[in-house]
Structures are given as C-alpha cells and as structure tokens.
Amino acid sequence: MPENTPVETHKNIKQFNTEDWLYEEFKVGLKARSIRRTISEGESMMFNGLVMDLHPYVADEVFAEEEGLFKKRLVAGAMVFSLGLGLMAHNNIHTFSYGYDKLRFIKPVFIGDTIYTVRTQLKKIPKYEKMGLVTVSYEVYKHPGELVLYCEHLQTVKYRHPENYQK
C-alpha cells in the first residue's frame, strides 16, 4: 500500500488539455488552427433551449423555409461564438479572461455547416503588478473557408518575472 494518498501522488502529473505558459512566452504573430466540427440540428436546438433563444430563424423550420431570407434555419450567433472559441480553448492555468472586443457575425452559419477556427496572437502589454494583458483574434470559418465570425479576446496572464514589470 503506498504511503502517499492518490491525490498527493497525482498532483505531480501534468493535467491533460491544459497549458501553463506565462506572459513572457506569448509570441505575437503566432497562429494556430483548430480541428473542424459539424454543427448538428440536435445540438443547435439544445443550445437554443438552454439560452432561451427561440427566434424563428433558429427554431422554426417552417418560418425559415417559407418566410426566411436564407430559406433554411440558422445556427444562433452565440452558439457559433461559443463553439468557435471552444475549438481553440487552451485552458491555460495562468490566464484569466478580461473580455472580448470587435465581435462580428460576418456571414450566416446553418445547421449542418462545418466550422473551424484560426487564432492569432496579436499583442501583449504590461498591465498590472503580477499580470500582463494579451490579445488574440479568433476567426471562425465555415468549410471550405468562408469567414463567418471575428472577435478579439483580451486576457490577463501571470508574469514569470513580475519584478521586470514593476513601475
């Protein structure tokens, strides 16, 4: 029987699907692309129900086909935003969301569309005593490469050497 409890033993194993980079490691200009994912009708309606978005364009097939501008149902913009950012979630244990800027829904996304995301590291500036501010852009595309959403995510991130950023 081991002397240490599993919690004590396991805390030294790197956690799956997390990152631990700090402000100094953030490289302006670095790009990353996500995997693709297809948006199904079931998950679209589940999302609509969760957030109480029952607008006819996202929830009413008859309206969409007979009266709607696009003749088919849309995926809610909030869902495209959530999925697009989720595809690039880095789960960094040293970052904290500061907010989003420049959120734009550029083109419609429909049930059955396949999306992917490109993240670009835009800039970084010292901000607080223990954390700097970084900005990344998210461009969400639907296959085969049509830009449907753009936003910028601002995050605070801990310094590796906070003494270098003291005023």
> Which residues, at least 6 apart from 73, have a Cβ–Cβ distance to it below 8 Å?
41, 44, 57, 58, 59, 60, 61, 64, 110, 111
Question: Residue 121, Cα to own-chain centre: how many angstroms?
Answer: 13
Quick check: helix, strand or coil at residue 141?
Answer: strand
Q: What is the pLDDT of residue 57?
A: 97
Residue 2: pLDDT over 60: no
Of 53, 147, 138, the closest CA to residue 100 belongs to 138
Reported as a single tens digit per residue, the pLDDT across 88-133 is 998 999 999 999 999 999 999 999 999 999 999 999 999 999 999 9
Parallel/antiparallel/unpaired status of strands 37-38 and 95-105: unpaired
Band (26; pLDDT cuts 50, 70, 90): very high
| CATH fold label, 18-165 | Thiol Ester Dehydrase; Chain A (3.10.129)
The torsion angles phi and psi of 52, rounded to 5 degrees, stand at 60, 35
For helices 77-86 and 41-51, what crossing angle results, to 10°?
110
C-alpha of 75 from chain center: 16
Q: Round the average pLDDT of the chain to a whole number and report it.
A: 95
Q: Residue 3: pLDDT band by 50, 70, 90 thresholds?
A: low
| Annotated domain spans of the chain | 18-165
Provide the β-strand partners of residue 114. 38
Mean pLDDT over residues 55-73, rounded?
Answer: 97
Give, in order, the Cα–Cα distances in Å from 4 to each of 1, 7, 8, 9, 100: 9, 8, 6, 6, 43
**pLDDT tens readout for residues 43-58:** 999 999 999 999 999 9
